[in-house]
Structure 1
Amino acid sequence: MRVLLALVFMVFIAGTAPAKEIEGVKVEPQVTVNSEALKLNGSGIRKKFLFKVYVGSLYSAKPLASGPEALNNTGDKLVRMDFVYPKVEKEKIVEAFQEGFRNNTPHLADSAEVKKFLSFFTDDFKRGDQVDIFLGGDGTVIAKHNGKVLGTLVSRPLANAILAIYLGDHPADTNLKRGMLGK
């Protein structure tokens, strides 16, 4: 009987994975978006030069092991950025997104959708801020800053282009890409 109770307890504990911590940021094993549970696919640190800028996490409905697999997957995803750098000016944020679009989806870099997406970012990001970018399987893109919706638009090409910034052939940070893919 004790063995059975111990096994039941171990299964219960294994099923409730605690948040892991990276650079003082608690990375939750699961998030709920639009009543759908998305599981942590992976996370890592975004560095620029020698500076740690944010902890980036990818949540998805099913495990994604490669960039092409993630980009071809039509399920919902969430990219979360938990900022650890003292302050990142809005101009730098927009520049970083623009560079990511140019490097991975140059045909969309100057599109109306990209310009609209970039217009969402009007504030600086500070240590402790959390930015969520929901990428719906239907092309819905919702950006939030500390829980406040910055903007919403629907464009499947834009949703893929945003994901490509992190997981494309020319990611913003190759170590972050590896981390987001659970490696």
Structure 2
Amino acid sequence: MSVPIEAPNVQVTLPAHPPAPARVGLVPQPLPGRALKALLSLAFFWGIIPYAVWVPPHYPWPAVCVCAGGFMAHLFWTGRYRVLWFLGVCPRCGKHLRIASGTRIALPHTLTCFACHFEPVLRVQEPVEARPEALLRHLKPECTGSWSEGWMWDERFLSCDGCGARQPATPELRRAADDENERGALLRQLADEGRFLD
């Protein structure tokens, strides 16, 4: 029996920073299995409380069993996916982020960057066509930077050299970037000619 693997379009986001591309392979965990594992972990840890009371020192073990049962049940219940592999970089510092293989997560999932100590979020990327603002957007409205095409792993991205905004390089966005670069070049040329008229 083959295990179904999902590879959704994801990105790593952090407020006030352009989103960074990411790749992830996930194995969905069905709801009945998650519920059964959560109930079994509660039953096991809470079921051994009467026996744990007799282990010296007597007072911490029942509390440990209650906490461990609750933690494991929460982990199994909320872990909608199991991670097979993950590639991603921090939007702030560009260092590689890590999620261990076998980790149970739900999307969106908060990560920790051990280089800059910020907490970016791994989330599913909305399709460009589904967004009403499906145009190129700069991080700063007053940005006059030019768009250029770059590569991250094996995918193309458009990035602004002024504000650092990044967008997927779809054909529609590439055309919009070319139009915006052309208008920007024309405005710069007119500004240069206007300087000589003064």
Q: State the TM-score, normalized to the length of structure 1.
A: 0.25
Higher percent of residues as strand: 1
Q: State the TM-score, normalized to the length of structure 2.
A: 0.24
